[in-house]
Amino acid sequence: MDEIIFRPIGHVRSPFKTTAEIPQQSIHVPDLEAVIEIKEEFSTGLLNLDKYSYIIVLFHFDQSSGYELLVDRPRGGSPGPRGVFATRSPHRPNGIGLSIVELLRVEGNQVMIKGVDMLDGTPVLDIKPYDPGLNPVI
């Protein structure tokens, strides 16, 4: 009854065919290129996206089944356990991933990006402009 239904706006075409090949964070693979293929019906939504150098990509962890509320050995942080919302684990109640990637160019319905940590075939839910001016100053 409180279900929220989304459909992919497109899919990632990346060099990573298995989860084992995926780096921990996109910032660690700044040179790898990939493509987001947007469905033709949505390609108009890309107009002027190329005004931005970086974009936020929201995607579905479609290869992760189930979730764990406690992560015993979170990556890249202090020793666990840690709650799943304090991690970027793909095993989350709603399997939404977030990557900030460099935008190379847009050609039709193809969004060429650099700095990829997404599996080939990953369903993309949304693209947003990345505006560093909206980041908190810490």
Contact between residue 45 and residue 108 where contact means Cβ atoms under 8 Å apart? no
Q: What is the DSSP letter of 131?
A: -
Residues 80 and 87: their CA atoms lie apart, in Å, by: 10
What value, to the nearest 5°, has the Cα angle with vertex 17 and ends 30 and 93? 85
Window 65-104: contact mask with a second copy (x via CB under 8 A): ----xx-------x--xxxxxxxx---xxx-x-x-x-x--
Judged by CB under 8 A, the residue of 3, 18, 31, 72 near a second copy is: 3
Q: Interface residues with a second copy (CB under 8 A)?
A: 2-9, 25, 27, 42, 44-49, 51-56, 58, 60, 62, 69-70, 78, 81-88, 92-94, 96, 98, 100, 102, 115, 123, 125-130, 132-136, 138
